[in-house]
Structure 1
């Protein structure tokens, strides 16, 4: 399945399927030439006669699903499963080849071979964009659960490396309206990888790097100073009881029965209220089920 309903995950290793009738060899090379290693071929499906480019992409840094989707809107993308050698063999298999190949850069397929253990493999999966839970539930990792604490620690280090040094391009949406019109339903229908806050005591304890943050039933329960930081683009460690977590989201939905100007008391100094309002890129009022009015 293609990346969990288009969840904007990141990985250093991707498998691409691109329709040849849409993307020429020159275009593919131009779009993928910046990555460390690209290999694959033009092939024809045995059963479907579908002519396509089958490619593996490896890079030193993480590549976003959305980046690949922007380059190839008609393509199909999966994070690599299995070893690099297994995927290379798959994208260069002879029985479907049409003789046209692409290879950019070099890759050391001997790295760690013969001396890898499970922890090394789990480390690589995390570097490729897997979460600890995804590793644990994967059938090929039956013993992963006993390393759960280690996986979480690795994951936090990986996220720190990714998100402690860069600004995020955050889009903040404010959705309000009366009860019963389907505001939360709208989120479920239009967002895939989201973390929903409904209890505002320790709200980020269970956050696990989801790409969308939803502050539901919001009525000013969170201190305005914290909200201003949560909605800002700068690197942020979200306060948690046991271990603070790096903010990875790039989209925020605030869902409320109140209009933006009503969620905080009027005694709060006007400049801070203006700062809150400036952080809202889009404000929508749901006046009836499924009917949004942009303000």
Structure 2
């Protein structure tokens, strides 16, 4: 019986073949992946919230901006009395007898009244009323300045809806005029770069800007609306902040339970605990007892059960 000679051309085969379009398959796969990614991003993606601005604050909650400005002038805001690394108003947090925050020293000086209120108004204000209010403030003694601002802070707290327009008459010095001028300045957008550039051409340090925002209630209200409050356990993976915040659950967990939830030194306590646990995890291979846990737990036998059953070990 004659045998048909085999085709020896490079693309010949002794088995059946059919045409295959690799480019077509790639395009279909790419399109399917894009559709799936877009759908999943729309359903599960984190919101791309724009940055909070002082102009936005002045427009949406001017009463809170007035109260925050008055608190800066009175020295009663959080940043004014925070201590290191911003000022010497307090020793800061400690771990027992170890005053760790004080040891760090003042590395980012912040004089709240001057930096957040007086200096910006001095640089930008041109109207005679604001200039006069600034002159009166600068000519008063520190005790008089504090008395004026503290009285105004108290009056704002007692006013209906904390409305500056409904504050009872009193001896507040130039504080109401300075607070109103701060709102006007913020509404123009001129405060945005004032706290980030620090005199440099490019503004990359937002520390002071965030301090002023955090001293008020407006930023917190926005955070709580996104379930990002300290007691809400919310997390947001904002654009550009890879790997985002989910990994922080290990740290934020401790803030929710006593005694850390009620401690004035919670930050240093929590980070000390997190640091110790991290070191333990890092050094597990060298810690006697812990380094033998895998053998005792036998998880590897469960994973490789087929191999162990065949080899009887």
TM range (shorter): under 0.3
**Which is higher, the Rg of structure 1 or of structure 2?**
2
- Indicate the structure with greater helix content: 2
- Indicate the structure with greater strand content: 1
TM-score, normalised to structure 2's length?
A: 0.20
